[in-house]
Structure formats: structure tokens, C-alpha cells
Amino acid sequence: MGNFTLPKRISFFETDTTLTDTLFLGAEALPALAELLRRPAVGQVWVLADANTARLCYPLLQPHLPPTHRLIEIPAGEEFKTLATCDTVWQQLTEQNTDRHAVLVNLGGGVVTDLGGFCAAVYKRGIRFIQVPTTLLAQVDASVGGKTGVDFLGFKNQLGVFQEPAAVCIDPQFLQTLDPRQLKAGYAEIVKHWLIADADAFQQNRSIGMFVEEWLPLIRESVLLKEQVVAQDPLESGLRKVLNYGHTVGHALESYLLLQPGREILHGEAVAAGMICEAWLSREKGLLSEQELDTIETFLFSVFEKVQFVTLETEAIAEFAYQDKKNVGSTINCTLLEGIGRAVYDQPVTPAEIAASLRYYHRL
């Protein structure tokens, strides 16, 4: 078992635009992308977008792309994050004789950045890809850290590889294309980062909630917190598991509802529910106080609507946790909280405990 806390609160200057050699944030992100694509070593340039980002975000990106680039458009939605969609991407790359000097620019939310990264990592044993995340969730979480993957047999991210992108270019202007529900879903991952590693930020921001005047500082802090964790454990063999707080129960809930037509929920909505369930499990195991549990659930319910399911479904939902990637054999490992701002990973839980946490959530 392990834990993680930030030794001190991170602060960043508003003028920072380059976070690492390959991660760009703010108004300079898209010009940086243009510069990268002008390099002599870059061959064909492809852009992967879904139906929504092709319509709303591609016009913002297009001026920064070489005129010879090609666009691949895929359907929008988690239900299309599959190998069948990958087939269409690989087919188009193959039909145009795309070689290993090509670059795939993934323009979209978590589905596009995950699937696009996976397609690039597998095509001809790997071509370079650049993430241009357009949702808040992708900007603070999904596009950063080198995880790629697709869903399989109804299980979230069942197939995938670790592959770092050539660059990540984060421009908050894309957030203006989002509806409030999508923006709120991304906010869940920001809250997760506070709960696992920054109690001060949680206390300072819980009175503000979604009434955020400027997203750039929050994006920057979340990205750098994740980068700090990933740098220490790129392949998720230990410390990186803290980033999965809320995801053991959340992924199980999301996967179950994805198979129920008309009941699908967004990833961030599932994570918000999962954080409440896993906070309750933390309290049950003596890691979290009753007052801290109340503070967490009160805040999350002030932002997120309750995910709907019935008590009789809780055991079936809990069974999905057997596919969680943190597990060892038949042991379900979960990330819990040892107080607000301090995460502990590799905490064994049973399906019965997960079902009990879902029943607790249902009663709230």
C-alpha cells in the first residue's frame, strides 16, 4: 500500500505557457503546434476529430495546420470508442500510404485523445501523435500522461498501451464550444486532484464551485499535478494509481450504464459518483472522518446531479470492478482517502463493499 501528498501547494505564474518541452498551454499552444508541424522530419499530417469537434473546433485549428493535411472524422460518443472505429482510422491511413513519419493530431475530448493515441501507437508499430484536447476533462486529465486505449466488451479502456504523445497543446478557447454538462464533467477531475493531493485548494475552491471566471489557472495546476505524479510512475506500477480515486466504482458504474440504452452517463459524472462512494469506503475503513465524508459529498452534490440506478442493480454494477486495471488476481484494489488531500492506493475492497457503497450513494 502507498500514499501520496503534495509537500506544499503548487503555484504557477500566469505568464507560463510552456509547461514542459512537449506540453503547451494557453494562447501560445496552437502557434506551438504549427511550429512543430513545420519541422522537416514531419511527413503527412492527419487530424482525427469526432462529428462535434470537426464542426465546432476544427475551424479554430485549421489555420495552424499545413494546407496538405487530411481530416478523419469519426462518430461522437463513448459508444464509438471501439476497435471498429479504430479500423476505420487505420483503413484511411493505409489507403493513403501513410508512412511512419506521419503525425496524427487528435482534436477532441477523452474519447478522441484515447482512441487516436491508441491508433497512432499501433499503426506500423507507432507513429507520432499530438493531443489537442477540446474538453475540460481532456485538458486536465485524459490527454496528459500517455495513456491510450479503447473500450472492449463493455469494459472501459480494456485495450490500450502507454505511449507519450509528441506534444500536448491545450488552448482554453475550445471550452467555449462545450455545453454546461460537458464542462461540469471535466470539473470532476479537477476536484479529484484536490481531494487526492491538495486540501488547501479544495477548501479554497469549494465555496466557488463551477462559478469560475478563468479556467486557465485551474487547468495549469491540474496538469502539473498529474505530470508530477506520472513522472515518478509512468507505467502505473505504484504511485500513479492515486490518480484513479473515484474510478474503481466510477468506471464500474459507467460501464454498466453504457450497456443500458438511453442510460449512458459522462465519464466525469461517473467519477463524481465514484468519489462519493470511495469516500464512504474510506470512512468505513477508518481512513476518513465522518465530517470529511460529509464535506466531500455535500460539495459534490452541490455541483453534480445524482446518477440514477436502483438498489437491485448494485451487485451487477460492482461485478464490473473485477475488470479494473489496478487489480491483482481476484483482489480489487482501490484508491481511497486518508483525509482530504491525501490518497492511499492498493486498498483491497470486495464487490460486496462496492455494492454497499453504491447503496449508500443511492440513499443520499
Tell me if residue 131 falls in helix, strand or coil: strand
pLDDT at residue number 188: 97
CATH of the domain at 346: 1.20.1090.10
Element spanning 213, H or E:
none
Co-location of 127 and 266 in the same domain? no
Distance CA 81, CA 266 (A): 13
- pLDDT of 166 > 80? The answer is yes
Spell 111-129 as b/e; 16+ CB within 10 A means b.
bbbbbbbbbbbbbeeebbb
Q: What is the pLDDT of residue 77?
A: 94
Q: What is the amino acid identity at position 104?
A: L
Residues with catalytic function: 125, 147, 189, 226, 236, 240, 244, 247, 251, 267
Q: Answer yes or no: do 239 and 127 share one domain.
A: no
Residue with cell 464535506: 295
Amino acid letter, 151: D
Q: What is the pLDDT of residues 308-323, one digit of tens each?
A: 999 999 999 999 999 8
Of 286, 364, 353, 281, the residue nearest 321 (C-alpha) = 353
8 A C-beta contact, residue 95 and residue 44: no
Examine residue 4 and state whether it is found in any structural domain, yes or no. no
pLDDT digits (tens, 9 = 90+) for 6-28: 433 332 222 333 334 689 999 99
Report the Cα–Cα distance between both ends of the chain, in Å, rounded.
Answer: 30
pLDDT beyond 50 at 36:
yes
Look at residue 10 in the predicted model and tell me its pLDDT: 30
What mean pLDDT is predicted for residues 131-144? 94
Predicted confidence at residue 329, as pLDDT, reads 85
How many separate domains does the chain show?
A: 2
Q: Is residue 20 part of a domain?
A: no
Mean of pLDDT values over 200-211: 92
pLDDT at 159 over 50: yes
Of the ranges 20-34, 106-120, 201-215, which is most confident?
106-120
pLDDT at residue 109 above 80? yes
Please tell me the predicted confidence (pLDDT) of residue 330. 85
pLDDT given at position 136: 97
Across the chain, mean pLDDT equals 92
| pLDDT score for 213 | 85
State which residues form the domain around 324.
Answer: 179-363
Contact 198, 9 (CB under 8 A): yes
Residue 107's CATH number = 3.40.50.1970
Kindly state whether residues 204 and 121 are assigned to the same domain. no
Residue 2, pLDDT score: 57
Are residues 138 and 285 both part of a single domain? no
Residue 32 counted as domain residue: yes
**pLDDT at residue 13, as a whole number:** 25
pLDDT tens for each residue of 84-104: 999 999 999 999 999 999 999
Q: Is 249 exposed, middle or buried (0-12, 13-18, 19+ CB in 10 A)?
A: buried
